[in-house]
Amino acid sequence: MKRIEELWIEEGIERPLALDGCPVQLTGKNRVTLVALGDVGASVLIGLRLLGGDVISAIGISDLSEPNMDRMEQELNQIRYPFGLETLPAVEKVKPEQLFDCDVFIFCASKGVPPVGSGGDVRMAQLAANRELAALYGKMAKEAGYQGMVAMVSDPVDPLCRAFLDASGLSPAQIQGYGLGVMNARALYFSEKDERFARYASEGRAYGPHGADLVIADSVNDYDDALSRELTALTVSANMRIRDLGYKPYIAPALSSAAISILLTLRGQWHYSSLYLGDRKTGAFLGIKNKMTGTGPVYEDIPLPEELFERIRHAYHNLCLLG
């Protein structure tokens, strides 16, 4: 049995950066800024407004299209309960110089999503263009002296987190990648379709990137490598099933990976997101079960079977190579 710390030891990392410091308001409400209101961003926005009234005070929005911002400001603020039954966080347009006047900065910007019909890993196809974009906003965060949390939603989540970290100089505790939540949700979906995978709901775990090197474990108590790899394959290809129907698969990722997982972070509850494991030179953001505490994010650290650990190590190593 092995533990997560052995990942960076095998990469030759002697002193990984500490995940110290809580960048959000765990005992109060947070002001959120969300950048880019495309399909994903708009869906995240809807989820946060409907579900986040307990931990969000207001949601600032920014988009290259002024009419789109006007539309979202009006439409989202017209989603209301009758008779004052519940107050939802206000949605407000923000100017470029106000982007980092917040507690949580949500990055949904992208230079282009591959069209329906594209083959291969469409997430990784966006890496070059979106890495440049993430670095640009990282420099803006540095110039603003940003002290809050960055929630990376754009694909590929984990390398873009690293690009933001390098450009911003923020502490690792300030940045999390939100891509693994939907992979867990998809694994749950398939576990309900096939009783062979049923124990995933109570014993399973998800690790690694929102992509080809994803690791789904059918159980951490009695790990079955063959079943786990079969469930992993179903989970990884789930987005292509939606594309084969002629649609872009953005609704479940926007809500499961982003909106719900970000809200769980702000509530200090267990969720799936990516945390940085490494030093300033070598390391990667790895998706793992974790929660935010008053002293910073902490991840679940349980003994892992050798076969499962090796799969996670392979995913972590490949993420380190992406830089």
48-101 pLDDT per residue, tens: 999 999 999 999 999 999 999 999 999 999 999 999 889 999 999 999 999 999
| CATH class given for the domain over 5-181+245-322 | alpha beta
Mean pLDDT over 166-175 rounds to: 98
Evaluate if pTM is beyond 0.85.
yes
For residue 235 the two structure tokens come to 């989970």
> Is 30 in a helix, a strand, or coil?
strand
- Pick from 313, 119, 284, 308: which is nearest to 221 by CA? 308
Mean pLDDT taken over the chain: 95
What percent of the chain lies above the pLDDT cut of 90?
A: 92
HSE at residue 223, side-chain half, CA atoms within 13 A, is: 18
Mean pLDDT over 154-162 rounds to: 96
Query: Which residue bears the tokens 């390391």?
Result: 283
- From the number of C-beta atoms within 10 Å of its C-beta (0-12, 13-18, 19+), residue 144 rates as middle
Q: What is the pLDDT of residues 219-264, one digit of tens each?
A: 999 999 999 999 999 999 999 999 999 999 999 999 999 999 999 9
Residue 111: predicted pLDDT = 84
Residue 15: predicted pLDDT = 95
d(CA 41, CA 58): 16
The neighbouring-strand residues paired with 205 are: 217
Rg (C-alpha) for the chain, rounded Å, is 19
The angle at the Cα of 61, spanning 58 to 62, to the nearest 5 degrees, equals: 155
- 60 φ, ψ to 5°? -85, 140
- From the number of C-beta atoms within 10 Å of its C-beta (0-12, 13-18, 19+), residue 103 rates as buried
Q: What is the pLDDT of residues 104-127, one digit of tens each?
A: 999 999 986 555 455 555 555 678
